[in-house]
């Protein structure tokens, strides 16, 4: 096994990955909370309309907030993940300069594939034109 030490990391590289991962997390959270708000708003609107309330559209606010959450949460989480990843990479580089980095043990593997067939000689045209 080969031992390697990670002495430095690419700050922008970590920031991009962290931003993408947090965007996906924000997408899940935004959809869940957004759906909760939309269902809540639709329930309020339906209940007010059934009572004959003149302000039945008053429940429209939570529906709009739910839609905004579905858009804003992934963007906010992605931006904050990018910033957090950049700060984390910078801190890692500073800490690795002091203590020496993370030691990894890597093992080389051989690819599992079948060998290609042996080359064959070209035999020419067996049916020559007369």
Query: Using CB atoms within 10 A of its CB, is residue 16 exposed (0-12), middle (13-18) or buried (19+)?
Result: middle
Sign for the pseudo-dihedral over CA of 13, 18, 24, 30: negative
Residue 59, number of CB atoms within 10 A of its CB: 19
Mean of the pLDDT values across residues 88-115? 88
Mean of the pLDDT values across residues 118-125? 77
Is the pLDDT at 109 greater than 90? The verdict is: no
CA atoms within 13 A on the CB side of 93: 13
Is the pLDDT at 61 greater than 70? The verdict is: yes
**pLDDT class of 56 with cuts at 50, 70, 90:** low
Q: pTM for this structure? A: 0.71
The closest of 79, 70, 93, 114 to 9, measured between CA atoms, is 93
Is the pLDDT at 31 greater than 90? The verdict is: yes
């Amino acid at each position: 096994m080969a031992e390697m030490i990670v002495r430095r990391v690419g700050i922008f590289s970590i920031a991009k990955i962290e931003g993408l991962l947090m965007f996906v997390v924000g997408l899940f959270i935004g959809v869940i909370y957004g759906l909760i708000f939309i269902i809540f708003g639709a329930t309020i609107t339906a209940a007010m309309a059934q009572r004959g309330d003149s302000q039945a559209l008053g429940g429209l606010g939570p529906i709009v907030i739910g839609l905004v959450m579905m858009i804003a949460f992934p963007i906010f989480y992605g931006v904050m993940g990018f910033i957090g990843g950049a700060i984390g990479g910078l801190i890692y580089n500073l800490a690795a300069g002091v203590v020496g980095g993370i030691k990894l043990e890597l093992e080389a593997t051989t690819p599992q594939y079948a060998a290609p067939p042996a080359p064959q000689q070209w035999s020419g045209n067996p049916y020559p034109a007369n």
